[in-house]
Structure 1
Amino acid sequence: MAAPEPKLETDRLILRPPAAEDFEAWAVFAADEDTMRHLGGVQPRAVAWRGICSVTGAWAIRGHSMFSVIEKATGRWVGRLGPWQPEGWPGTEVGWGIVRDCWGKGYASEGATAAIDYVFDVLGWDEVIHCIEPENLNSQKVAKRLGSAYLREDWLPAPYDDHPVGIWGQSRAQWQARKPA
Protein backbone atom coordinates (compact mmCIF):
# COMPACT_ATOMS: atom_id res chain seq x y z
CA MET A 1 0.00 0.00 0.00
CA ALA A 2 1.43 3.38 -1.02
CA ALA A 3 1.95 6.09 1.57
CA PRO A 4 -0.47 8.98 1.30
CA GLU A 5 0.87 11.91 -0.68
CA PRO A 6 1.44 15.07 1.30
CA LYS A 7 -0.89 17.97 0.69
CA LEU A 8 -0.03 21.30 2.26
CA GLU A 9 -2.47 24.17 2.49
CA THR A 10 -1.96 27.87 3.08
CA ASP A 11 -4.53 30.63 3.14
CA ARG A 12 -4.58 30.87 -0.67
CA LEU A 13 -2.72 27.82 -1.98
CA ILE A 14 -2.76 24.04 -2.11
CA LEU A 15 0.61 22.34 -2.52
CA ARG A 16 0.49 18.75 -3.74
CA PRO A 17 2.65 16.44 -5.85
CA PRO A 18 2.30 17.08 -9.59
CA ALA A 19 -0.41 15.17 -11.46
CA ALA A 20 -1.02 14.43 -15.14
CA GLU A 21 -3.61 17.20 -15.38
CA ASP A 22 -0.89 19.76 -14.48
CA PHE A 23 1.10 19.19 -17.66
CA GLU A 24 -0.64 21.67 -19.98
CA ALA A 25 -0.10 24.56 -17.54
CA TRP A 26 3.43 23.29 -16.77
CA ALA A 27 4.29 23.33 -20.49
CA VAL A 28 3.02 26.90 -20.91
CA PHE A 29 5.02 27.93 -17.81
CA ALA A 30 8.18 26.28 -19.21
CA ALA A 31 7.74 28.01 -22.59
CA ASP A 32 7.52 31.53 -21.12
CA GLU A 33 10.78 33.42 -21.65
CA ASP A 34 10.36 35.81 -18.69
CA THR A 35 9.40 33.03 -16.31
CA MET A 36 12.22 30.72 -17.37
CA ARG A 37 14.95 33.41 -17.61
CA HIS A 38 16.44 32.32 -14.25
CA LEU A 39 15.15 28.72 -14.27
CA GLY A 40 17.37 27.16 -16.90
CA GLY A 41 15.84 28.78 -19.98
CA VAL A 42 12.79 28.19 -22.14
CA GLN A 43 11.86 24.55 -22.59
CA PRO A 44 10.10 23.08 -25.60
CA ARG A 45 7.07 20.94 -24.79
CA ALA A 46 9.01 17.64 -24.92
CA VAL A 47 11.59 18.96 -22.43
CA ALA A 48 8.82 20.30 -20.18
CA TRP A 49 7.36 16.76 -20.21
CA ARG A 50 10.68 15.35 -19.06
CA GLY A 51 10.81 18.06 -16.38
CA ILE A 52 7.42 17.25 -14.87
CA CYS A 53 8.29 13.54 -15.02
CA SER A 54 11.61 14.23 -13.28
CA VAL A 55 9.89 16.09 -10.46
CA THR A 56 7.19 13.41 -10.19
CA GLY A 57 9.79 10.63 -10.28
CA ALA A 58 11.75 12.28 -7.48
CA TRP A 59 8.71 11.76 -5.24
CA ALA A 60 9.05 8.00 -5.84
CA ILE A 61 12.85 7.87 -5.56
CA ARG A 62 13.56 10.41 -2.80
CA GLY A 63 10.19 10.58 -1.08
CA HIS A 64 9.99 14.34 -1.68
CA SER A 65 10.14 16.83 -4.52
CA MET A 66 8.57 20.02 -5.71
CA PHE A 67 4.85 20.48 -5.29
CA SER A 68 2.39 21.77 -7.83
CA VAL A 69 1.02 25.10 -6.59
CA ILE A 70 -2.74 25.33 -6.96
CA GLU A 71 -4.63 28.57 -6.38
CA LYS A 72 -7.46 27.72 -3.97
CA ALA A 73 -9.87 30.35 -5.29
CA THR A 74 -9.73 29.08 -8.88
CA GLY A 75 -8.23 25.57 -8.82
CA ARG A 76 -5.65 26.85 -11.32
CA TRP A 77 -2.07 25.49 -11.49
CA VAL A 78 0.13 28.55 -10.84
CA GLY A 79 3.60 27.09 -10.39
CA ARG A 80 5.83 24.59 -8.73
CA LEU A 81 7.85 24.93 -5.57
CA GLY A 82 9.29 22.98 -2.69
CA PRO A 83 12.05 20.53 -1.88
CA TRP A 84 14.56 19.91 -4.63
CA GLN A 85 17.69 17.81 -4.30
CA PRO A 86 18.72 16.15 -7.55
CA GLU A 87 22.04 14.35 -7.90
CA GLY A 88 24.99 16.72 -7.55
CA TRP A 89 22.91 19.65 -6.23
CA PRO A 90 24.76 22.01 -3.86
CA GLY A 91 22.42 21.33 -0.92
CA THR A 92 18.89 20.73 0.29
CA GLU A 93 16.89 23.31 -1.61
CA VAL A 94 13.42 24.74 -1.39
CA GLY A 95 12.97 26.48 -4.72
CA TRP A 96 10.09 28.19 -6.46
CA GLY A 97 8.74 29.14 -9.86
CA ILE A 98 5.41 30.92 -10.26
CA VAL A 99 3.59 31.76 -13.51
CA ARG A 100 4.29 35.29 -14.64
CA ASP A 101 0.76 36.65 -14.28
CA CYS A 102 0.85 35.70 -10.59
CA TRP A 103 4.11 37.47 -9.78
CA GLY A 104 3.79 40.03 -7.02
CA LYS A 105 0.93 38.23 -5.25
CA GLY A 106 3.19 36.72 -2.58
CA TYR A 107 2.57 33.14 -3.71
CA ALA A 108 6.27 32.23 -3.74
CA SER A 109 6.77 33.40 -0.15
CA GLU A 110 3.50 31.87 1.06
CA GLY A 111 4.13 28.51 -0.55
CA ALA A 112 7.83 28.42 0.33
CA THR A 113 7.00 29.08 3.99
CA ALA A 114 4.78 25.98 4.06
CA ALA A 115 7.41 23.97 2.17
CA ILE A 116 10.20 25.02 4.55
CA ASP A 117 8.07 24.03 7.54
CA TYR A 118 7.55 20.68 5.79
CA VAL A 119 11.24 20.00 5.09
CA PHE A 120 12.27 20.85 8.64
CA ASP A 121 9.34 19.26 10.48
CA VAL A 122 8.62 16.20 8.30
CA LEU A 123 11.79 15.51 6.30
CA GLY A 124 14.13 16.44 9.16
CA TRP A 125 16.45 18.65 7.12
CA ASP A 126 19.00 20.72 9.05
CA GLU A 127 19.46 23.42 6.40
CA VAL A 128 17.52 24.83 3.49
CA ILE A 129 19.10 26.63 0.54
CA HIS A 130 17.81 28.54 -2.47
CA CYS A 131 19.92 28.58 -5.65
CA ILE A 132 19.43 32.05 -7.12
CA GLU A 133 21.14 33.65 -10.09
CA PRO A 134 22.80 36.99 -9.21
CA GLU A 135 20.50 38.88 -11.63
CA ASN A 136 17.30 37.40 -10.15
CA LEU A 137 16.46 40.22 -7.76
CA ASN A 138 12.84 39.10 -7.32
CA SER A 139 13.86 35.69 -5.96
CA GLN A 140 16.48 37.33 -3.76
CA LYS A 141 13.66 39.42 -2.25
CA VAL A 142 11.63 36.26 -1.63
CA ALA A 143 14.64 34.62 0.05
CA LYS A 144 15.10 37.66 2.31
CA ARG A 145 11.37 37.63 3.20
CA LEU A 146 11.83 34.01 4.24
CA GLY A 147 14.71 35.01 6.52
CA SER A 148 17.42 33.50 4.31
CA ALA A 149 20.76 35.19 3.76
CA TYR A 150 23.39 34.98 1.05
CA LEU A 151 25.76 32.16 2.01
CA ARG A 152 28.15 31.63 -0.91
CA GLU A 153 28.66 31.29 -4.63
CA ASP A 154 28.43 27.75 -6.02
CA TRP A 155 27.79 25.77 -9.19
CA LEU A 156 24.87 23.63 -10.24
CA PRO A 157 25.56 20.27 -11.89
CA ALA A 158 25.52 19.86 -15.67
CA PRO A 159 23.78 20.88 -17.81
CA TYR A 160 23.29 24.05 -15.70
CA ASP A 161 26.99 24.52 -14.89
CA ASP A 162 27.76 27.34 -17.32
CA HIS A 163 27.80 30.05 -14.62
CA PRO A 164 27.84 30.27 -10.82
CA VAL A 165 24.72 30.82 -8.72
CA GLY A 166 24.22 32.47 -5.38
CA ILE A 167 23.36 30.13 -2.56
CA TRP A 168 20.97 31.66 -0.07
CA GLY A 169 19.69 29.82 2.97
CA GLN A 170 19.33 29.24 6.65
CA SER A 171 19.51 26.52 9.27
CA ARG A 172 16.61 24.85 11.00
CA ALA A 173 17.51 26.73 14.20
CA GLN A 174 17.44 30.08 12.37
CA TRP A 175 14.04 29.26 10.83
CA GLN A 176 12.57 28.20 14.15
CA ALA A 177 13.99 31.24 15.97
CA ARG A 178 12.10 33.66 13.69
CA LYS A 179 8.72 32.00 14.18
CA PRO A 180 6.41 33.16 17.01
CA ALA A 181 6.16 30.78 19.95
Structure 2
Amino acid sequence: MFAVEERSSGQYIGRVGPWSPPGWPGLEVGWGIARECRGKGYAVEAARASIDWAFATFEIEEIVHCIAPDNAPSRAVARKLEARHDREGDLFGKPVDIWVTSRKSWAGQN
Protein backbone atom coordinates (compact mmCIF):
# COMPACT_ATOMS: atom_id res chain seq x y z
CA MET A 1 0.00 0.00 0.00
CA PHE A 2 1.01 3.61 -0.43
CA ALA A 3 1.48 6.12 2.39
CA VAL A 4 -0.95 9.02 2.37
CA GLU A 5 0.29 12.39 3.57
CA GLU A 6 -1.68 15.55 4.07
CA ARG A 7 -0.43 17.92 1.39
CA SER A 8 -0.44 21.08 3.54
CA SER A 9 1.39 19.62 6.54
CA GLY A 10 3.23 16.58 5.19
CA GLN A 11 1.74 14.58 8.08
CA TYR A 12 1.22 10.84 7.54
CA ILE A 13 -2.55 10.24 7.70
CA GLY A 14 -2.97 6.67 6.49
CA ARG A 15 -2.45 4.14 3.76
CA VAL A 16 -4.27 3.39 0.54
CA GLY A 17 -3.47 1.06 -2.27
CA PRO A 18 -3.15 -2.42 -3.65
CA TRP A 19 -2.39 -5.56 -1.76
CA SER A 20 -3.14 -9.25 -2.10
CA PRO A 21 -2.05 -11.31 0.90
CA PRO A 22 -2.38 -15.10 0.85
CA GLY A 23 -6.00 -16.20 1.13
CA TRP A 24 -7.41 -12.92 -0.20
CA PRO A 25 -10.22 -13.03 -2.80
CA GLY A 26 -8.21 -11.03 -5.35
CA LEU A 27 -6.08 -7.94 -5.73
CA GLU A 28 -7.58 -5.38 -3.40
CA VAL A 29 -7.31 -1.63 -3.34
CA GLY A 30 -8.00 -0.83 0.28
CA TRP A 31 -7.85 2.26 2.45
CA GLY A 32 -7.28 3.27 6.02
CA ILE A 33 -7.25 6.94 6.95
CA ALA A 34 -6.70 8.38 10.42
CA ARG A 35 -10.02 9.02 12.16
CA GLU A 36 -9.43 12.77 12.48
CA CYS A 37 -8.81 13.05 8.72
CA ARG A 38 -11.81 11.09 7.48
CA GLY A 39 -14.55 12.74 5.46
CA LYS A 40 -12.16 15.04 3.60
CA GLY A 41 -11.88 13.00 0.40
CA TYR A 42 -8.40 11.59 1.01
CA ALA A 43 -9.49 7.94 0.69
CA VAL A 44 -11.41 8.55 -2.53
CA GLU A 45 -8.63 10.59 -4.15
CA ALA A 46 -5.90 8.13 -3.23
CA ALA A 47 -8.02 5.08 -4.12
CA ARG A 48 -8.74 6.51 -7.58
CA ALA A 49 -5.02 6.97 -8.20
CA SER A 50 -4.32 3.48 -6.85
CA ILE A 51 -6.96 1.87 -9.06
CA ASP A 52 -5.55 3.69 -12.10
CA TRP A 53 -2.08 2.43 -11.18
CA ALA A 54 -3.21 -1.15 -10.53
CA PHE A 55 -5.06 -1.46 -13.84
CA ALA A 56 -2.08 0.08 -15.69
CA THR A 57 0.39 -2.23 -13.95
CA PHE A 58 -1.37 -5.60 -13.68
CA GLU A 59 -3.24 -7.67 -16.24
CA ILE A 60 -6.36 -8.08 -14.11
CA GLU A 61 -10.03 -7.62 -14.93
CA GLU A 62 -11.21 -6.58 -11.50
CA ILE A 63 -10.13 -5.10 -8.20
CA VAL A 64 -11.84 -6.01 -4.96
CA HIS A 65 -12.54 -3.95 -1.87
CA CYS A 66 -13.14 -6.03 1.27
CA ILE A 67 -15.31 -4.05 3.69
CA ALA A 68 -16.68 -5.03 7.09
CA PRO A 69 -20.49 -5.08 6.88
CA ASP A 70 -20.83 -2.42 9.59
CA ASN A 71 -18.26 -0.03 8.08
CA ALA A 72 -20.56 2.61 6.59
CA PRO A 73 -17.77 5.12 5.80
CA SER A 74 -15.87 2.55 3.69
CA ARG A 75 -19.07 1.55 1.90
CA ALA A 76 -19.52 5.25 1.07
CA VAL A 77 -15.99 5.38 -0.38
CA ALA A 78 -16.74 2.28 -2.48
CA ARG A 79 -19.91 3.91 -3.81
CA LYS A 80 -17.99 7.09 -4.72
CA LEU A 81 -15.58 4.87 -6.64
CA GLU A 82 -18.62 3.39 -8.40
CA ALA A 83 -17.72 -0.09 -7.16
CA ARG A 84 -20.54 -2.60 -6.95
CA HIS A 85 -21.37 -4.82 -4.02
CA ASP A 86 -20.68 -8.26 -5.47
CA ARG A 87 -20.95 -10.79 -2.66
CA GLU A 88 -20.45 -11.61 0.97
CA GLY A 89 -17.30 -13.37 2.04
CA ASP A 90 -15.30 -14.59 4.98
CA LEU A 91 -11.73 -13.53 5.67
CA PHE A 92 -10.07 -15.51 8.40
CA GLY A 93 -13.33 -16.06 10.28
CA LYS A 94 -14.67 -12.51 9.89
CA PRO A 95 -17.53 -11.58 7.56
CA VAL A 96 -16.83 -9.07 4.80
CA ASP A 97 -18.72 -7.54 1.94
CA ILE A 98 -16.76 -7.80 -1.27
CA TRP A 99 -17.15 -4.84 -3.59
CA VAL A 100 -15.75 -4.94 -7.13
CA THR A 101 -14.35 -2.38 -9.54
CA SER A 102 -14.07 -3.89 -13.01
CA ARG A 103 -11.57 -2.75 -15.60
CA LYS A 104 -14.41 -2.27 -18.10
CA SER A 105 -16.48 -0.01 -15.84
CA TRP A 106 -13.39 1.89 -14.65
CA ALA A 107 -12.28 2.62 -18.20
CA GLY A 108 -15.71 4.08 -18.87
CA GLN A 109 -15.51 6.60 -16.05
CA ASN A 110 -11.92 7.71 -16.38
Q: TM-score, normalised to structure 2's length?
A: 0.95
1:142 to 54, 77, 80: 77
Once residues 123 and 162 of structure 1 are traced to their aligned partners in structure 2, the CA distance between those partners, rounded to angstroms, is: 29
Once residues 14 and 94 of structure 2 are traced to their aligned partners in structure 1, the CA distance between those partners, rounded to angstroms, is: 25
**Unpaired segments of 5 or more residues in structure 2?**
none
1:155 to 82, 85, 90: 90
More strand by share: 2
* 2:17 counterpart of 1:82: yes
1:174 to 96, 105, 109: 105
When the two chains are superposed, the root-mean-square deviation of aligned CA atoms in Å is 0.9
One-letter amino acid of the structure 1 residue matched with residue 83 of structure 2: S
After superposing the two structures, state which structure 1 stretch, 130-139 or 170-179, moved more.
Answer: 170-179
What is the number of residues matched between the two proteins? 110
Matched ranges for 1:1-181 at <5 A: 66-156=1-91, 161-179=92-110
**Unpaired segments of 5 or more residues in structure 1?**
1-65
How high is the sequence identity, in percent, across the aligned residues? 49
With CA pairs under 8 Å and 6+ residues apart, which has the higher RCO, 1 or 2? 2
One-letter amino acid of the structure 2 residue matched with residue 152 of structure 1: R
Once residues 125 and 72 of structure 1 are traced to their aligned partners in structure 2, the CA distance between those partners, rounded to angstroms, is: 31
Once residues 122 and 90 of structure 1 are traced to their aligned partners in structure 2, the CA distance between those partners, rounded to angstroms, is: 19
One-letter amino acid of the structure 2 residue matched with residue 171 of structure 1: S
One-letter amino acid of the structure 2 residue matched with residue 177 of structure 1: G
**Aligned with 2:94: secondary structure?**
coil
Q: TM-score, normalised to structure 1's length?
A: 0.59
Shift of 1:73: 1.2
Once residues 70 and 16 of structure 2 are traced to their aligned partners in structure 1, the CA distance between those partners, rounded to angstroms, is: 20
Shift of 1:128: 0.6
Shift of 1:122: 2.0
**Aligned with 1:155: secondary structure?**
strand
Shift of 1:123: 2.6
Greater C-alpha radius of gyration: 1
